[in-house]
Amino acid sequence: MQRIYRSIGFMAFLAILISVPFGCNSAREEASQEPQREESPEKKYSRYFFYDFEAPEIPPEAAKEMEEARQKLESTVEATRFINMNATRLEGAPYMDFAWLWKGSSKDYVESEHVHDFDEFIGFLGTRGPEDPHGLGGEIEFWLGGEKYRITESCLIYIPKGLKHCPIRFTRIDTPILFFSGAFELGGYESTPTEFTDARAAERNYAKYFSYFMNPKEISPKDDSGEAKRKPEEAPQESGSAIESSGILSMNSIEGAPYIQFAWLYGGSEEKPTHPEHAHAWGEVFGYIGFVGQEDPYGPMGEVEFWVDGEKHVITKSCLVWIPPNLPHCPVRFAQIDKPILWFTLGIGMQGGEYSFSKPPADEIE
């Protein structure tokens, strides 16, 4: 069977769907895709912070075929390939891709059905604000295991290795939607195409892999540290937090799914940092995605302080942070939220989805 590598994966297929040809972005997109650098690039751990999208290398013949296919599509979807990380950008980093879908509609599909030999997640997150935090702001058709699903609310999809998935159709984008995918394991991206059939389109055997909410039953740390014993409501009280937020999505209700959770922070600030320094035997990704609009998607969103092994980093624009196994990290402080920030964290290479520490957190933040 033919194998397709990440170099022409999700974001490359997305490129043929947007109204601007891949490799020929508008002036606005070109400006927004200038490399985004941290204020202090000389710091030891700056390489673990990703602020932009690094386009994959596509062979000329493949690029030509993609452009020919794009010209045949019935699509008005406007999109921005936004931010990514992978082992090509930093050795040892997991793959993760994010794109903004701004508006438009499509009668055609992006990506063909395939399988992986690793666990994957795919997400669609709306930006309708605190009045409608779970609203998607559009309609997306997604195929999983040969079954067709119509998505109209923000959701996370868990895709165990070996489960066929796709195609995807962005049926209608009314308000901006964040579209993303990533791996729960380390290693390169590789997929194997499968033969698509719609014979089981109406079945719902895999509906259990869709999550549309934040399960209040959190994965409990197994150690006996002070942090594990703290009540959830104590953190905002101790930090002097005045942040308006909504917990949006997790996979705690999906059997076998690793740790992952998302929350919107709409505005406010906190006086003191939270989450004492700690480390895990598995890797972790933190995301801070600002919703600042199509004109300047990389624009300032506020100020987040994030520590890595005692080194302080100040994040003012959308960012992905990769924390390798056993690297101490935190605390974190949302010093100022000027634009809505999507805050998320997920485990990479966890054993059985168990949230555990290789260095337990201290009872207090120094």
CA distances from 49 to 39, 136, 317 (A): 11, 28, 11
Q: What's at 48, amino acid-wise? A: Y
How far the first Cα of the chain sits from its last, in Å, is: 55
Tell me the domains of the chain and their CATH numbers. 4-19+52-211 (2.60.120.10), 226-348 (2.60.120.10)
182 beta partners = 96, 121
Do residues 75 and 21 touch, judged by C-beta distance below 8 A?
Answer: no
Alpha-carbon distance of 288 to 266, in angstroms, equals 12
Six-digit token pair at 173? 């984008």
Task: Look up residue 267 and give its two tokens.
Answer: 């505005």
- Calpha distance 98→51 (Å, rounded): 11
User: How far is 35 from 347, CA to CA, in rounded Å?
Assistant: 27
Per-residue confidence in pLDDT tens, the chain, 366 aa: 333 333 344 544 444 444 333 223 433 344 444 445 455 567 999 999 999 999 877 777 877 777 777 777 788 999 999 999 999 999 999 999 999 999 999 999 988 999 999 999 999 999 999 999 999 999 999 999 999 999 999 999 999 999 999 999 999 999 999 999 999 988 878 889 999 999 999 999 999 999 999 875 554 334 344 443 344 444 455 556 899 999 999 998 898 898 999 999 999 999 999 999 999 999 999 999 999 999 999 999 999 999 999 999 999 999 999 999 999 999 999 999 999 999 999 999 987 777 889 999 877 776
Q: Which two tokens stand for residue 252?
A: 């705690």
Burial 294-331 (b: 16+ CB within 10 A, else e): eeebbeebbebebbbeeeebebbbbbbbbbbeebbbbb
For residue 39, give every residue at least 6 positions away whose Cβ sits within 8 Å of its Cβ, in sequence order, or none. 314, 316
Residue 330 phi/psi, 5-degree rounding, is 80, 165
